[in-house]
């Protein structure tokens, strides 16, 4: 959970997965692993996991 400074109260984060914060967007697989991180329209990262949910690959792409 994170503090919402605009309302001075705590927001709930479902399943303990932050989906959006500022200009960042996060996507998860069914096991809760982060699979994609998007920063605005300029940069994004993808994450790949093996069958034991270990991070095995990450890719970073950027628009110029």
Percent over 90 (pLDDT), the chain: 50
Burial group, residue 11, by CB count within 10 angstroms (0-12, 13-18, 19+): exposed
First to last CA, the chain: 33
Alpha helices, DSSP H only, in 1-64?
none
Checking if the pLDDT of 46 tops 80, the result is: yes
pTM for the model: 0.68
CA–CA gap between residue 36 and residue 49 (Å, rounded): 12
């Amino acid at each position: 959970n994170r503090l919402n400074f605009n309302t001075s109260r705590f927001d709930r984060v479902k399943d303990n997965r932050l989906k959006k914060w500022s200009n960042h967007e996060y996507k998860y697989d069914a096991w809760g692993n982060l699979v994609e991180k998007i920063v605005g329209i300029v940069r994004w990262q993808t994450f790949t996991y093996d069958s034991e949910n270990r991070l095995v690959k990450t890719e970073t792409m950027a628009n110029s």
